[in-house]
Amino acid sequence: MDENPFTDPIHPEQPQRPIEDSTLIVGRTASLTLGTDSLIVLESKTTHAIPFYNILWAELSNFEISIQYASPTAASVVRVSTINYPVEKPEHPRAVSWVRTLLDLAYGVSQWKKRIKVLINPFGGKGRAQKWYLRHVEPIFAAARCEVDLQKTQYRGHAVEIAENLDADAFDVIAACSGDGLPFEVFNGLGNKPDARRALKNIAVVQLPCGTGNAMSWNLNGTDSPSLAALGIVKGIRTPLDLVSITQGDRRTLSFLSQSVGIVAEGDLATEHLRWLGSARFTYGILVRLLGKTVYPCDLAVKIEVATKPEVREHYRRALNDRSPPDKNRDSLSSQDANGQQQDSGLPKLQYGTINDDLPHDWNLVPYDKLGNFWCGNMACMAANTSPFPATLPHDGCIDLVTIDGDISRIAAIRSLLAVETGKFFDMPHVNYRKISGYRIIPKNQKDGYISIDGERLPFEPFQAEVHRGLGTVLSKSGHAYEASGLLIKDGE
């Protein structure tokens, strides 16, 4: 995912084409040429290329051209660099249009000068989130001429309040400088707004990875480097994102990442006291429970959309080849009032009802007494090099469900754990993998346990989930797929 972070992504919306008058003569011994995917800087004794993706800004002031770009200084770090050249008076009129063309190539379909509300969790990254932001992120946003409004969160749930009270027309992006907890709060804050659907469409929610869990950044930018993520946000393409309504008791919560009951939920939430182990605490927690052959009995009802692994592969293949305009990948964001007028108020109506309603007529509640793992993913990657949901897509109207029996052999269980990192998890015979649009799960025969929604603990009670296609918005490199290792399409498929 992070093997070559400086590669310029080529978007299908922008076919490569010859550029007329692509070379600008600057100074006495230098030239700037717009190449296929890079700016070629030719000086008397040196030549180097700057990928268009790394170009942050360019401008012509009087008779000097200035270009700022993200320059790699380490394997996963970029810093702002600037080149300046004089422009002779006869070249000045053409230089104006040349700069505009350079910016068009640098940004493609991405928005220039994004208006960004930055939320910093001062406790994120063991208290280093603000330091990382100031060192790695702020210079990149400034060079790209982004308008930034920064605010620190002061307590748990503060980001919910900030997003709920935010002027949805004042910002293009909310950037959470944190782990995955702050984006979860932001989505739910936007979901509380009177015009929730409009706000969730207009404001892209992104992550500047500064926490323990940085799954959102791995999926959207293929990195947990704050500087590379900042570059990804500057160049990011607005992408519809499915969100999932979770109803439990009288509460409705939005999920953007994952939901789990069983081994994964316990491996995460029951090891909070081991945070000093870093990401290894999750592996430790999972391994202990796998070796114990722990089961989590429940009753389960699922609305299946794609039932078998071959069908999941075909669904994924078709979706990757689909280049529909972004808003065609959203459910209707408006509803009609009694007079037939369109409204953008509130969240979408739940077509399957809540956990308190009767079960939908086409759902069957079946006992699952030997459940080992119930894990739903809305994104492919849950951590670095960990992609348990390789067939997930940002806006296909489905979440991917993995269920595994808890009484499989210990060897098979350990192989499953290892296979998540090798890309072989999907094809393991005891891994049940489906695409679904809703479910109801009722834990039983346990007084207490763990339910994880985007890494946040919910009460150990029955709950129901329903997918809303394209309800949210994020920024991604491609606009249609995650950066995590996806499902390999076999020959002939």
Query: Mapping DSSP to helix (H, G, I), strand (E, B) and coil, where does residue 350 land?
Result: coil
The CA distance from 390 to 375, in Å, is 13
DSSP labels, 260-293: EEEHHHHHHHTTGGGGGGTTHHHHHHHHHHHHTT
HSE-CB of 301 using CA atoms within 13 angstroms: 17
Enclosing H/E stretch for 42:
strand 38-42
Let me know: does 458 contact 449? Beta carbons within 8 Å. Answer: no
Answer for the pair 41, 49: CB distance below 8 angstroms, yes or no: yes
Q: Which one of the listed residues 8, 180, 242, 400 is annotated catalytic?
A: 180
- From 408, 430, 458, 468, select the one nearest 261 (Cα to Cα): 458
For the question of residue 180 being annotated catalytic, the response is yes
User: What is the distance between the alpha carbons of residues 76 and 236, in angstroms, rounded to a whole number?
Assistant: 18
The answer to whether the beta carbons of residues 374 and 405 sit under 8 Å apart is: no
* Number of neighbours of residue 250 by Cβ within 10 angstroms: 8
Question: CB pairs under 8 A, 24+ apart, for 161-167?
Answer: 161/189, 162/117, 162/119, 162/186, 162/189, 163/187, 163/188, 163/189, 163/190, 163/192, 163/193, 164/189, 164/190, 164/192, 164/193, 166/117, 166/190, 166/199, 166/203
Q: Which residue has the tokens 């980001």?
A: 159
**CA–CA separation, 400 and 392 (whole Å):** 6
Residues labelled catalytic: 180
